[in-house]
């Protein structure tokens, strides 16, 4: 959510930003906000005047009564009653206009960074850099489900019976590999100075609307029937929500956190759910990284976060690239975002395995997260998040890039201690 002061001072810049995100249907919201804001401020000024007048007149009544001037006191009482009536009416409108302003402000997208490429959708995202040499082996690489089934590591048919499409049973060494990757990711981030968390897997509605846009919420979140609780789509939701209505001391920044959680997503949209596969599914597990920092430090942390993911995948011999998200592919709260994509030898192309985002002060403003600074005044911190790893999707890249011709799978050195010393799965 933008600062209303910024919108007042820069309405044209806000509209231009909306156009860059190809959301022209939202342009009218800026004028509506400014009109409502004018009414709200005028009402607030009038309310402050009426409260002051009421206090002054109330003192006059006491003085008149003390002098025995009852008639004069009654006249002043009538003035107080009239002022109170107007005040009550204006306070009601003030509350109504404030709510209408917030309703519109929650939909107006955040101002994107000047470096973000302009484009309508993910087809116009821009490759930034490649890490590692993408290779295609001499032998045929099967579909990832076929690799898992040959290793007796997945059961989609049973999951379809119990839960429907978009769910899976992992078993045997593939299940162990799944857990090993998460354990390695946890320790990888702890070694880089991040504090490990296991957060709540359900959050309240006010946290949901604080961390994401309404469009994302509708397409992603599962609501618990009859309760004000939602299943998280990523642990970022719980971890940023942890600071709701908090005043942090500046000495507490930066907050560098890494969290494990299961994730639950409707996956509503054009992509759909795979009938046989684990690329786009309703349930998965993820290791996340989250940073709450000073505004001037967020560009530096943004670069550090995506680099962490690149380093993690390269430590497992998986080639990756970074892809700058264009303006039309950015969610409304994001200032800047980069996807990390892993190489698929079978498809001979890269596919998304993680996303790093700088959200500026949007989440902090929505959730009331502030930082105390006696010299400059209190301010909203910036929040950032990034995927360390999200199996089982990451398993696709892992299996394809570490597959041997005989159908066995090589285990890179960093994972062997988590796999009981095994160097291959066969």
Which one is predicted more confidently, 253 or 50? 253
Tell me the C-alpha distance between 14 and 196, whole Å: 38
Tell me the C-alpha distance between 41 and 286, whole Å: 45
Tell me the C-alpha distance between 39 and 284, whole Å: 48
Q: Which ranges in 260-406 belong to alpha helices (H)? A: 298-315, 362-367, 393-401
Q: What are the pLDDT digits (tens) for 280-312?
A: 889 999 999 999 999 999 999 999 999 999 999
269 pLDDT more than 60: no
pLDDT at 411: 96
21 pLDDT more than 70: yes
270 pLDDT more than 70: no
Helical (H) or strand (E) element with 176: helix 172-191
pLDDT band, residue 268 (cuts 50/70/90)? low
SS3 240: helix
Asked whether the beta carbons of 391 and 409 are under 8 A apart, the reply is no
Q: Where are the beta strands (DSSP E) in 125-270?
A: 126-131, 154-155, 169-170, 195-197, 202-203, 222-223, 230-231, 247-249, 255-264
Backbone angles phi and psi of 234, in degrees to 5? -165, 150
DSSP state of 114: T
SS3 76: helix
Domains belonging to the chain, first-starting first, are 4-105 (1.10.287.40), 122-425 (3.30.930.10)
Asked whether the beta carbons of 184 and 311 are under 8 A apart, the reply is no
- Cβ atoms < 10 Å from Cβ of 403: 20
Q: What are the pLDDT digits (tens) for 65-112?
A: 666 766 666 676 777 777 778 778 888 888 899 999 999 999 999 999
pLDDT at 1: 85
pTM: 0.89
The number of helix segments (H) and strand segments (E) in the chain equals 14, 17
Q: What are the pLDDT digits (tens) for 236-250?
A: 999 999 999 999 999
* Cis upstream peptide for 43 (omega within 30°): no
254 pLDDT more than 60: yes
- Indicate the average pLDDT of the chain: 91
């Amino acid at each position: 959510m933008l600062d209303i002061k910024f919108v007042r001072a820069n309405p044209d810049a806000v509209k231009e930003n909306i156009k860059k995100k190809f959301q022209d249907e939202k342009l009218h919201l800026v004028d509506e906000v400014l009109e409502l804001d004018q009414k709200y401020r005028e009402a607030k000024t009038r309310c402050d005047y009426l409260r002051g007048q009421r206090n002054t007149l109330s003192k006059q009544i006491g003085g008149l009564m003390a002098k025995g001037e009852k008639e004069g006191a009654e006249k002043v009482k009538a003035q107080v009653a009239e002022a109170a009536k107007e005040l009550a009416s204006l306070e009601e409108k003030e509350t109504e206009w404030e709510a209408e302003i917030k309703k519109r402000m929650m939909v107006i997208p955040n101002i994107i960074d000047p470096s973000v490429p302009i484009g309508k959708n993910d087809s116009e995202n821009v490759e930034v850099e490649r890490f590692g040499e993408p290779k295609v082996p001499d032998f045929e690489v099967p579909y990832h489900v076929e690799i898992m089934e040959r290793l007796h590591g997945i059961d989609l048919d049973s999951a379809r019976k119990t839960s429907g499409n978009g769910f899976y049973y992992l078993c045997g060494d593939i299940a162990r590999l799944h857990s090993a990757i998460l354990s390695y990711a946890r320790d990888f981030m702890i070694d880089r100075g991040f504090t490990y968390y296991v957060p709540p897997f359900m959050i309240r509605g006010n946290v949901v609307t604080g961390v994401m846009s309404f469009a994302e919420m509708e397409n992603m979140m599962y609501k618990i029937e009859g309760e004000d609780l939602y299943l998280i789509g990523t642990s970022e939701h719980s971890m940023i929500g942890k600071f709701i209505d908090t005043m942090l001391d500046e000495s507490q920044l930066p907050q560098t956190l890494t969290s494990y959680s299961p994730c639950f997503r409707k996956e509503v949209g054009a992509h759909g759910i795979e009938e046989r596969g684990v690329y786009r599914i309703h349930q998965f597990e993820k290791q996340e990284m989250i940073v709450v920092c000073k505004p001037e430090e967020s560009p530096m942390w943004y670069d550090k976060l995506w680099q962490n993911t690149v380093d993690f995948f390269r430590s497992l011999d998986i080639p990756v690239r970074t892809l700058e998200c264009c303006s039309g592919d950015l969610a409304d709260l994001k200032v800047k975002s980069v996807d990390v994509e892993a190489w698929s030898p079978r498809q001979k192309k890269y596919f998304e395995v993680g996303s790093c985002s700088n959200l500026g002060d949007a989440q902090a403003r929505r959730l009331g997260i502030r930082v105390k600074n006696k010299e400059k005044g209190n301010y909203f911190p910036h929040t950032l998040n990034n995927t360390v790893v999200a199996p089982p999707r990451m398993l696709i890249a892992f299996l394809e890039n570490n597959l041997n011709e005989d159908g066995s799978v090589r285990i890179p050195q960093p994972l062997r201690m988590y796999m009981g010393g095994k160097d291959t799965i066969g």
